[in-house]
């Protein structure tokens, strides 16, 4: 019971300190930063998907070429 009350008091204290030190402004700044970071991540995902497909095709071509060369050497 004492731990529960201590937790409640601590939570209220943290909430009051958050509000006192301009919590709304801090949350707004963090939100703006996260939105900008999200846009950057979406752009990077698109680039990776486009280039990833091209790289995969190149790797498959090289593997198939090596297999053909190996088969020619064996025969």
Give me the pLDDT at residue 68, please: 66
Structure confidence by residue, pLDDT tens digits, 1-49: 889 999 999 999 988 888 887 777 877 887 888 888 888 888 888 887 7
Helices (H) and strands (E) in the chain, counts: 2, 0
Write down how long the chain is.
75
Full-model pTM: 0.41
Q: DSSP labels for 35-59?
A: HHHHHHHHHHHHHHHHHHHHHHHHH
Average pLDDT over residues 62-70: 68
* Cα distance between residue 37 and residue 29, in whole Å: 12
User: Is the pLDDT higher at 38 or at 61?
Assistant: 38
């Amino acid at each position: 019971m004492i731990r529960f009350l201590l937790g409640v008091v601590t939570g209220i204290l943290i909430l009051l300190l958050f509000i006192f030190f301009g919590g709304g402004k801090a949350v707004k700044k963090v939100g703006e930063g996260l939105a900008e970071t999200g846009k950057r991540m979406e752009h990077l995902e698109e680039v990776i998907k486009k280039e990833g497909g091209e790289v995969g095709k190149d790797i498959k071509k090289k593997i198939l070429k090596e297999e053909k060369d190996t088969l020619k050497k064996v025969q």
